[in-house]
Structure 1
Amino acid sequence: MSPIFPRGLLRELLGVVRLRDEDPLGGHPVSAPPVGAQAVATAREHSRPLHPPRPRSRAAAIRSLKLGLAPAARLLDATALALGLALLTALVHWWARPEILFLLLLGAVSLRLVVAPIVVPAFHPRRVLLTGVVAYALAFSFVTVSRHLTFLTHALDLGYYVQLTWNLAGGRGPRVSLPEMHAWGDHLSPIMYLFVPIFWVAPGPVVLLIAQSVALALGALAVFGIARRRLGDGRPAAAFAVLYLVNPSLHGINVRDFHAAALAIPLLLAAIYGAETRRPWMFVAAALLTLLCREDAALAVVGLGAWLAVGRRRWLPGALTAAAALAVLVVDIRWVIPWYRGAPYPHLGRYAHLGGSLGGILTGALRHPLAVLESVLTGGRLVYLLAMLAPLGFLPLLSPVDLLGALPALAQNLLSGDPILQHHRTQYQAFVLPFLIVAAIAGYARVARRSDRWPAAVLGVAMVASLALASRTVNNFALARWWPATEQRAAYGMLAGVPPAATVSAQDPYVPHLSLRALVFVFPVGIEKSDYVLLNVATYPWRSLPDVTMERDGQTVTIRVSPGREYRYAVAGEAGPHLSLRRLSSS
């Protein structure tokens, strides 16, 4: 039996942590009376004035403290119970945002643990690990699939990857129409070939969403293995696995659609575990698969090589890994992607303030270090770093050598002019998070070597910070979020009426449901070549599309797109606000 917060933080502050209550019957053991000359020596030794035993007064202080805090603990218990019931009712009937109630509940429970630690039974680390992995995979498969069924997924990126994989499975090559192009001309993600056999059997968005949730859950196995090897104890290793599973960045990456970059998280962790356990085949295989996720995943593999060389003093394999990954990055950006695109690599525009090419960006950063530092030390970027480090109790900062692996991907995010890269819940953190986890484990090891009091407390604080920043995830379990409303259910009949071979231009929420076809566009893109147009008339007029107007006359709808383009449609299906239009003519 062990308390969640051993010895209690409040007792730590009072300086009475290590004391125990006296035996109420006899106090301290008394030595046998001295005999003969020994009695004289003993009398001389104790000729000093005697003072009351201090342990007795401290023990009394402990008892009085416990009695004084008991009412506060009972009050916090009642508060937590009330907040828990309120949270359950909000999940069933949305009368308040569940995440707000969850934060209040988390605060009450945290304060309760500080006031009076709760003793819980010891658990076997492997059982905790396996329970966490299964629970995460099931919970996030449910969340992501239910979000899709309630039209909360998007053309980019779920619809994009569904169409890409469907084309690969059909032998049509890596083609997409979001926008219409060769997929390798945008992001190079050959890892999607791994999903082709699954699409032969069960094509569709649900497969990708479940696969992503399971893959991210399996990353906890590598975290546990790394931590157990570093710390020599399965209990903190299981704690780090759980800390990984509740990480807010992991949740954000998982919840918002599907991204090939997300698969790099378990792969990088597997590579690190392979390096830690001296399994070169595992390291090489995981590193190669990481490179297949996206072209910029090479930055993470450069960091992996730097970590292996500097952090583990394995200079040759680390240098070879970093050099090979850097070569892959240069080849992909300068030749491969431009060849498929027919134009230069498009995503360097985020760094135009530093330079127009990969070499120009590096040169610009080296020539103007103060300007780079000034841009990094801005409010938004500092908040981003805080949001990445707080869920790990800032432990990564205690191991700069292990943190080295995150620097290339962190630089990619911090130097970007696009603020989406500096949001802790986006897919751009997939190349950063694994190294932060490893650095946190190393930082914990340092704390544990210096003190046996603080490691558990630091993990407790990290857990609270993780749950607080991940509180938005709770909203996805509300009945209103995952149970399709009447209006949403009505849309499925309209979607079923669209022929599988038809070219479609649809508003964003419909696109992932229509991506198993050669051509699907986000309205009004592709309207000139689309057989069907799908709209939610409740969203009209479209504020983001002021030049697009719609006019209905009975069963005929006219859509005008500036300048001077006009398209006429017949109403093919209508269900609530959902409208399916079949093209008649254009002018």
Structure 2
Amino acid sequence: MVLLKDKKLIISLLFFFLFCLIAIVNHYSLRTFFDLGMINQALYQLGNLQNPLFTLGIDGKDMPFLATHFSPIIYLYYPFFLIFGHLTPTLIQILAISLAGVPIYKLSLLFLNNNKTLANYCLIHFYLIWGIYSALAFDFHNNVIGSMMVPWLTLFLFQKKNYLLIIASLLMVMCMETFGIWLFTVLLIFIIYQFKHNKHLNKIALLVAFAALVYSLLVINFVMPSLQNTAQNLQFGRYSHLGGSLAEVFLNLIKHPKIIVEGLFTNLKDKSFAIQKIIFLLFLFFSGCFLIYKNPLFIFIFLVPLALKFLSNDSGLFGIYHQYSIEFVPLLSMVLIFGLNKTNFLIRERLALACCALTAVCTFASLNFSLGEYDYKANSSFYKPVHFKPGLDLGSVKQSLKLIPIDAKVSASSCLSPYLFQRRYLYHFPIIKDAKYIAIIKNNRSTWPISEEAHQQKIDLLKKSGLFKVISDQKDMIIFKAKEN
């Protein structure tokens, strides 16, 4: 009975259950993709005492796992992988999001005069933000885990718990190579805010901020190019129109600031109008960012994720979908909490409730309408019966996958990779290379990066090639095996 009276716990458990309905159902319905597959493959290789290898690239190149995104945090996942197997990354992502509600609630109490009603509104607002649902609907990515560290390290900063701040910061920078730069801006802004209001300068936090910045710069400019065996970091391919290195990009933006303005509404690759960017900015505004005028300094905590999103030549990053909006989830919560802190007591609760309602409308729109590329509505419509219908004969598909020996080299459809991780070499069809088996979903669920028509043509060519024989041809999946010489 005591637990039922704890509103924050009820709110958190309800959203945890909702998140499970999205992510776990998608995973078991084969609606996840190669991002999850590459993590499971890396964890499997760790268990075999191998240096994790990334082999699922659509360019057909193999490279060390940490050369794709520098995410050494995966080493911390392995003990859980021994227990939960291929479901591990999905569970970790759900837990990371759900538990981030704890510091959101505590920060709300800290800055809103211990008002539990307001704290509950802020907690609901956080869990409602569309960036969470687009990330869970897509797949797994370590930037979700890193983003969920922001509320924790912010709480520890203002509680002056420096040892916990260091741990949270370390976990965050271990998630992705760029997160040290973002962490630097976040900590620096909150340190300035703290000093401005109570004249306290947290020198430890300042040291952590600069250490994180140096770490990211070293990893981006030296460690990753070394792992990739290239002169320049391959991740700069998305920003090649701005320069070939981080320094070149930075200098180019300083010399030509109009690029930043153009980046707000156009695709810098071809100068075409990008409606996805306008939609994203509107979603930001109505989900709480309209309160940023209360703390204009907070604009700077948005700069790194906004730059990575809007200056890219990859249109998949521009809008509200995928995992590319998750960084803005904790930032919107910070804007709301600190904005309410500077709002008249008499209207705080009404304003918080209105913000929750507007955010809910934005999220509902993102789940029900196509507002950008690759919206994955079927993956996120947890409130519709169709979400619980996999659209495949799962029993037949998973039984047929048992025909493929563990550790055999395989080329597979993207949605099969999270289940075919138990091998050193796993390729993303239509990449075949030296694969001994090819497993393809036939219903066009995951034909990326080729069209549905090209996908069918590839299957037809395999049947006629004489190099492979069909060992299983079901309604939803076909499996080929290489003929022996």
Q: Given residue 412 of structure 2, which amino acid in structure 1 is its aligned partner?
A: A
Q: How far off is 1:585 after superposition?
A: 4.8
Aligned twin of 2:39:
161
Q: Given residue 336 of structure 1, which amino acid in structure 2 is its aligned partner?
A: V
SS at match of 1:499: coil
Aligned twin of 1:362:
250
Instruction: Decide whether the 8 Å contact of 1:167 with 1:518 is kept in 2.
Output: yes
220, 226, 229: which one aligns with 1:333: 220
| Residue 96 of structure 2 corresponds to residue 215 of structure 1 | yes
Structure with greater contact order relative to length (CA < 8 Å, sep ≥ 6): 2
Query: Alpha-carbon deviations, 1:219-260, whole Å to 9, x = none?
Result: 011100111100111210111011101111112122211111
Aligned twin of 1:118:
none
SS at match of 1:524: coil
Aligned twin of 1:226:
107
SS at match of 2:125: helix
Q: Given residue 509 of structure 1, which amino acid in structure 2 is its aligned partner?
A: C
Matches for 1:406-445 after TM superposition, within 5 Å: 406-445=302-341
Distance 2:302 2:65 in 1: 28
Instruction: Decide whether the 8 Å contact of 1:261 with 1:294 is kept in 2.
Output: yes
Gaps of 5+ in 2: 196-200, 267-274, 368-376
Instruction: Decide whether the 8 Å contact of 1:403 with 1:439 is kept in 2.
Output: no
TM-align CA RMSD: 2.5
Distance 1:375 1:151 in 2: 36
364, 373, 389: which one aligns with 1:483: 389
Distance 1:315 1:365 in 2: 31
Distance 1:147 1:546 in 2: 24
Q: Which moved more, 1:373-382 or 1:464-473?
A: 373-382
Instruction: Decide whether the 8 Å contact of 1:573 with 1:580 is kept in 2.
Output: yes
Query: Alpha-carbon deviations, 1:444-466, whole Å to 9, x = none?
Result: 122235xx1x3233223222222
Q: How far off is 1:265 after superposition?
A: 2.4
Distance 1:500 1:372 in 2: 49
Query: Could you tell me the TM-score, scaled by structure 2's length?
Result: 0.86
Query: Could you tell me the TM-score, scaled by structure 1's length?
Result: 0.71
111, 132, 151: which one aligns with 2:11: 132
304, 312, 323: which one aligns with 2:194: 312
Aligned twin of 1:192:
74
Q: Given residue 214 of structure 1, which amino acid in structure 2 is its aligned partner?
A: L
Distance 2:429 2:225 in 1: 27
Instruction: Decide whether the 8 Å contact of 2:121 with 2:356 is kept in 1.
Output: no
Cα 1:387/1:538, change in 2 over 3 Å? closer
Instruction: Decide whether the 8 Å contact of 2:67 with 2:224 is kept in 1.
Output: yes
Instruction: Decide whether the 8 Å contact of 1:308 with 1:315 is kept in 2.
Output: no
Q: How far off is 1:125 after superposition?
A: 11
| Residue 173 of structure 2 corresponds to residue 291 of structure 1 | yes
Distance 1:125 1:145 in 2: 26
Matches for 1:56-67 after TM superposition, within 5 Å: none
Instruction: Decide whether the 8 Å contact of 2:104 with 2:151 is kept in 1.
Output: yes
Aligned twin of 2:460:
550
Aligned twin of 2:162:
280
478, 481, 484: which one aligns with 1:579: 478
Q: Given residue 13 of structure 2, which amino acid in structure 1 is its aligned partner?
A: V
SS at match of 1:572: strand
Q: Given residue 465 of structure 1, which amino acid in structure 2 is its aligned partner?
A: L
Identity %: 19
Cα 1:545/1:422, change in 2 over 3 Å? same
Q: How far off is 1:174 after superposition?
A: 2.0
Query: Alpha-carbon deviations, 1:469-490, whole Å to 9, x = none?
Result: 2221762343322234563332
| Residue 440 of structure 2 corresponds to residue 535 of structure 1 | yes
Gaps of 5+ in 1: 1-122, 560-566
Q: How far off is 1:153 after superposition?
A: 0.9
Distance 2:392 2:265 in 1: 48
Aligned twin of 2:198:
none
Distance 1:349 1:486 in 2: 36
Q: Given residue 580 of structure 1, which amino acid in structure 2 is its aligned partner?
A: I
| Residue 124 of structure 2 corresponds to residue 242 of structure 1 | yes
388, 393, 402: which one aligns with 2:298: 402
353, 363, 384: which one aligns with 2:241: 353
Aligned twin of 2:372:
none
Which one has a bigger Cα radius of gyration?
1
Q: How far off is 1:165 after superposition?
A: 1.4
139, 152, 170: which one aligns with 1:257: 139
Distance 1:467 1:264 in 2: 24
Q: Given residue 409 of structure 1, which amino acid in structure 2 is its aligned partner?
A: P
Query: Alpha-carbon deviations, 1:299-337, whole Å to 9, x = none?
Result: 221122222332212364454233222211210011111
Distance 2:177 2:83 in 1: 29
Q: Which moved more, 1:169-178 or 1:429-438?
A: 429-438
Cα 1:419/1:398, change in 2 over 3 Å? farther
Instruction: Decide whether the 8 Å contact of 1:409 with 1:431 is kept in 2.
Output: yes
Aligned twin of 1:145:
24
Aligned length: 447
Q: Which moved more, 1:540-549 or 1:273-282?
A: 540-549
Aligned twin of 1:390:
286
187, 204, 210: which one aligns with 1:323: 210
SS at match of 1:570: strand
Instruction: Decide whether the 8 Å contact of 2:177 with 2:220 is kept in 1.
Output: yes
